[in-house]
Structure 1
């Protein structure tokens, strides 16, 4: 939305009684964003000073505080003065003058680019464009009345600070920020044994003793995990704007022992966790998705592949080539005198004696106000402010609409109403509203300077 901002410059007519009026016609000034000023104007001097004289005209930018920037001077010479000067330079073998020299009555166009980094005061105060003049004769130089061509004030362009409003996902959405075990139901996917659960961030796990499906609070860190599961579920169930849709539990067992026993064990472990939750939270069976993951061969293979120990490659080969799970386990136990298996027993298998995986999926009442506000924001980004304002007025009581309402009112000409909403949003901590208020205050300051 950035555009070229025109300078506020008033071209003044000549009011000096001297007949050789310096004209300020053709003055043009433009602020190029907030970093540069392009100033163009035409300078001329009449011939009333006479043919024997020259007028040295020096344009300058000044402020009431005394800041001054001199531009390149121009010398306007009468016909005789021009001949005298050229003759003197010829006989004295003098260098040509550095200032532009033209005949009286000529027009000289100035086109200068000024950088904020070099003269920041031009952007901070009321600046006058005037011309200092001196009359030069054969033997002396005397001051002449100056000419004011105009005054200018940099008025910053208002570039609205806008942001997308987050969906209000209810209590579940709020909890999700600190509890990645929560996911929106749109992200749900059924379990299959190709998934590497341990690498899915945010899931919670409870652990079981070897060959047991008894869920003990005092085993490892179960108490903390179980309390967290129950607290999250209760909070969402009590909220009117969000709801639990699926509690997914995948029961797993380590690969130790017979496959038949382990598959049964994994199923009982998943059921035990489900029963624990239902005993503490009133929740229907239909909200549970309990999957029997059986022996955790996928998890085991992934952990072995990530490790670095003797027998690693041989273990991977056995897992990848032996199809019978019971025979596969036996080969792993016997490999290299049981040393690789001992490593697995002490460092890996204990983590697989658990219910495997739990995640809670939620849904929430659609946030239509957020949708409306975001649609209005898109319209303002396309500079369709009237249409955006009409949309925003339908949700004007939602405090998330205050900041964009401030922008919409401001850009449609109702500055007072815009300021009111900007202040309300800023008081509520809205970052965009604070930035817009800063811009508004800078613009008001500049406009007050203009009126002085």
Structure 2
């Protein structure tokens, strides 16, 4: 029983000895220096120096160092060609195997095979090339170590991180956008146009509130004018009143009738709202064949094609009536008189006013309720008060473009807001109308650069820079940094 216990102790000691021997590792004595990597022509090139100065290697041992590229946060990886470091005796064995062309000498063809000269400075210059894959843009580099002895028994293995990110992160350019501060509008003159389709008795020009649906029409007029007159944000300056007649009588008669009816409407406004008649410009335009054609074209009336032909081809307005009366034995003309001509008779009135100036905080409320009271300059200041990536920022510039659709500054600033929000194609489409305006070139360049069209971006940056646009000069430098790195990423 006692001897058996001794055997167990001896076996345990031998087992511990082998376990300790299996943990031989040398990675902490090997220093990695000058590690670099580039993506060139869709090939990943890895360079590093292995400094062996502190390594003392047993004569029968072999170290296999395998660089491994591994995707950060993923399982994808690739082993690069290994480096073989041998002790004296092991080096001779390897050399004999190479002479004999032993195919099973290494699992993977080594990048280099070196003999360690213990006690001597020694550096292994390593390089490897593998096809580049997209996941390598964010990948780590580590060294796997495997130590074996002459009998191919494994003495130890390990792994050490060399660098968390083998390639530098993609350069993120900071492009400068062009925003143009609009000129201050000294007097914000505005006007709103309205239509009143009042009904008049045949050949009459006086307004009868109780006739047909005039009550509803005049109530609407009253509401519109009252709201404008009582609005403390504006001052009404004058009115323009224009009368239009349907074409069932002579041209001269209809013009005079339209003028009298327009005068009646001006008298109504003057008395109702205490507006001096010298603040009203009154005109009578008589027959409105354009409106007549528009109303007929949108209708389903019988003989519509023939009616439109007569309007388009009979040049004498009075002669048109005669031709129209002949259609369908006169029934078509009666339908026109009854259902469509009343839509042509109307009074259009335009109210002109001056809007007051607004602070930014006031403007934030006005832009939601009555944005036309704001100047382009006020809208710009409101927009700039919001973060560039906010919904409100973009909305302000969109409203500015909607209210000032033909104003280049509004278009340029709204396009800049589109770019801020990542809507690069929308910005390009918006600026196509003013593509020849040098002030738009820098923003066009930024939009194309962000879409990856570096050729077009450079074209616009160069054109803008040639006109001393400092933002375009700075953006050209940013583009060059991106282009320099783009083959690598």
Q: TM-score, normalised by structure 1?
A: 0.54
C-alpha deviation, 1:57, in angstroms: 1.9
Task: Look up the match of 1:270.
Answer: 262
Q: Is 1:216–2:209 an aligned residue pair? A: yes
The gaps in structure 1 that reach 5 residues or longer are 1-15, 31-37, 174-182, 189-201, 371-394, 408-421, 437-452
| CA separation of 1:243 and 1:309: change in aligned 2, threshold 3 A | same
What CA distance in whole angstroms lies between the structure 1 residues aligned with 2:247 and 2:312?
A: 15
Is the 2:142–2:163 Cα contact (8 Å) retained in structure 1?
yes
Change (3 A) 1:431 1:158: farther
TM-aligned CA deviation for residue 292 of structure 1: 0.9
Per-residue CA deviations over 1:299-341 (Å, capped at 9, x if unaligned) read: 1133334545443343334434545544432332233310221
Matched, 1:131 2:140: no
The answer for unaligned runs of 5 or more in structure 2 is: 1-24, 86-90, 115-123, 362-377, 396-416, 421-489
Cα distance in 2 for residues equivalent to 1:113 and 1:296? 73
Alignment of 1:42-121 (within 5 A): 42-45=47-50, 48=55, 49=57, 53-60=62-69, 70-78=77-85, 80=92, 82-83=94-95, 86=98, 90=101, 97=107, 101-104=111-114, 105-109=124-128, 115=134
Distance change >3 Å, CA 100–CA 220, structure 1 → 2 = farther
Q: How is 1:36-435 mapped onto 2 (pairs within 5 angstroms)?
A: 41-45=46-50, 48=55, 49=57, 53-60=62-69, 70-78=77-85, 80=92, 82-83=94-95, 86=98, 90=101, 97=107, 101-104=111-114, 105-109=124-128, 115=134, 129-138=141-150, 139-144=152-157, 146-151=159-164, 184=190, 203-211=194-202, 212-213=204-205, 214=207, 216=209, 218-219=213-214, 221-236=216-231, 238-239=232-233, 242-244=234-236, 247-285=239-277, 287-307=279-299, 309-355=301-347, 357-364=348-355, 401-403=384-386
Rounded to whole Å, the distance in 2 between the matches of 1:17 and 1:156 is 37
Q: Which has the higher helix share?
A: 2
Distance 2:83 2:281 in 1: 93
Counting matched residue pairs gives 328
CA distance 1:148–1:354, shift in 2 (3 Å): same
RMSD: 5.2
Equivalent-residue separation in structure 2 for 1:96 and 1:339 (angstroms): 104
Q: Displacement of 1:295 after TM fit?
A: 1.5
Contact 1:169 1:364 in 2 (8 A): no
> 1:10 aligns to what?
none
Larger Cα-atom Rg = 2
- Counterpart Cα distance in 2 of 1:135 and 1:158: 46
